[in-house]
Amino acid sequence: MHNGKARAFTNIALIKYWGKKDQQLILPMNSSLSLTLDAFYTETSVSFSKNYTEDLFYLDGRLQGEKNTQKVARLLNLARKQAGINEHAVVYSQNFVPTAAGLASSSSGLAALAGACNDALELNLSSTELSRFARKGSGSACRSIYGGFAEWQKGDSDQTSYALPVESNHWEDDLAMIFVIVNDKAKKISSRNGMQQTVETSLYYNDWLKAAETDIKTAKKAIANQDFHALGEVIEANCLKMHATTLASTPPFSYWTPDSLKAMNKVYEMRQAGQNCYFTMDAGPNVKVLCPKKDSQKIYDELQKEFSEQQLVLAHAGKGIESLETEVAK
C-alpha cells in the first residue's frame, strides 16, 4: 500500500490561459499569471495497492462515474509510469470550493491529486516537475503549486511548460479578492470544451493571443512596481478580451448571466465613486473583485447592498501546495 495526501489552494488567473496548442500534454497557446487564494482549496488522498482491481475516484464522498474520473485517471497513469508500478488506486477528494462553477476547482483539485501521487509513490518531484505533472491534469493546476502570484510560462514542450513564482516583494499580502458568487452550480460548457471551441472557431482568437502577450508584460511590470491601478486595469481588460472570444465563436456562447453584469456594473460604479477595485471572471458566471486589503471591508459592505452575505466571500493570498499526514501508516 502506498498512501499520500495533499492540500492545494485554488488560483484565479489575472491574465488568462485560454486555449491549448497540445491537448494531450496540455501546452497552452499563451502564458498566464495568477493569484493563489486562501479561501478555497482541495484535500486529496490517494492509495495505490495490489489489492485494488480498478481505479476509484470519490469526490465529496460520492463515487464518480467514468467521465468525471478521466482527468484523475490521466494523472494516475502518469504517476504509475514514472514509479514503474501497475497498482490500481483509490482517490478520496474533498473540495472546499464549488465544483465546475468557474471558481477554479480544477486548479486546486488536480494540483492536490498531483501532490498526493508525488507523496504516495515517493516520486520526489521538484516544484517545477510537480507543476509540469499537475499541468497534465488541468492547465490551471500547474500554478497552484505556488502561493501568491505565479506565472505559467507557456514553453513549447512538456519540459519547458510550467509555472514559477513571480517576484513581488510580498505585495500580494496587501491585496484582497472578493468573490461574488452568483451561481455555484456546475457550468454547461467546461473550461476545456469552451477554450477548444474558441481556438477552433473564434474570429477574435488571433487578436486574443496578441493581446495576452502584451497584457502579461504589463501585469508583471505593475506587480514589480506594486502599482494597483496598473494591475487592475490590465487584468479587467484581459478578462473582457477573453470573454469576447466566446461571443465570436461558432456557435457563439457566453459564461455571463444578468447577475454577472450586475456585479461588473457595481464595480464600475464603485470605481467612479473613487474606490480601488477591478474585476475578473473565469469560465463561469462568478465575478471576482480585486482590491487593496485595506479597502476590502468598505468594498465588501458596498457589494452587500446588491448581494447577500452568502454570495460574498472575502479571500486573501493563499499558500502553495502542502503535504498532509495520511490516516493509514505507510
Interface ranges with ligand DP6 (CB under 6 A): 13, 16-18, 26, 32, 106, 138-140, 191-192, 282-283
Of the candidates 41, 26, 128, 38, the one whose C-alpha atom is nearest the C-alpha of residue 71 is 26
Residue 326 engages Co ion in binding (rule: CB under 5 A): no
Residue 190 engages ligand ADP in binding (rule: CB under 6 A): yes
CA 7 to chain centre: 14
Give the angle 14-20-23 at the CA atoms, nearest 5°: 135
CA 76 vs CA 109, 250, 269: distances in Å: 13, 34, 47
Tell me, residue by residue from 134 to 173, as one string, x for binding to Co ion by CB under 5 A and - for no binding: ----------------------------------------
Residue 109 engages ligand ADP in binding (rule: CB under 6 A): yes
116 vs 290, beta carbon nearer ligand ADP: 116
Shortest distance in whole angstroms from residue 22 CB to ligand DP6: 11
Listed ranges 45-53, 168-176, 187-195, 211-219: which one lies at the site for Co ion (CB under 5 A): 187-195
Per-residue b or e along 156-178, where b marks 16 or more CB atoms closer than 10 Å to that residue's CB:
eebeebbbbbbebeebbeebbbb
- Near ligand ADP in 79-98, by CB under 6 A: 93, 95
DSSP 147: S
Q: Please count the residues of the chain.
A: 330
Residue 12 engages ligand ADP in binding (rule: CB under 6 A): no
Tell me, residue by residue from 277 to 316, as one string, x for binding to ligand ADP by CB under 6 A and - for no binding: -----xxx--------------------------------
The answer to whether the CB of 113 falls within 8 A of the CB of 44 is yes
Give the angle 267-269-270 at the CA atoms, nearest 5°: 65
Residue 191 engages ligand ADP in binding (rule: CB under 6 A): yes
Listed ranges 10-18, 74-82, 189-197, 209-217: which one lies at the site for Co ion (CB under 5 A): 189-197
* C-alpha span between 17 and 31 (Å, rounded): 7
Name the residue with the smallest CB distance to Co ion: 106
113 binds, among ligand ADP, Co ion, ligand DP6, none (CB under 5 to 8 A by kind): ligand ADP
Question: Of 14, 26, 89, 103, which one interacts with ligand ADP (CB under 6 A)?
Answer: 103
Question: C-alpha cell of 328?
Answer: 493509514
15 vs 291, beta carbon nearer ligand DP6: 15
88-96 and 56-59: which strand pairing?
Answer: parallel
Q: What is the CA radius of gyration of the chain?
A: 19
Q: Site residues (CB under 6 A) for ligand ADP? A: 42, 44, 59, 68, 71-72, 93, 95, 99-106, 109-110, 113, 190-191, 282-284
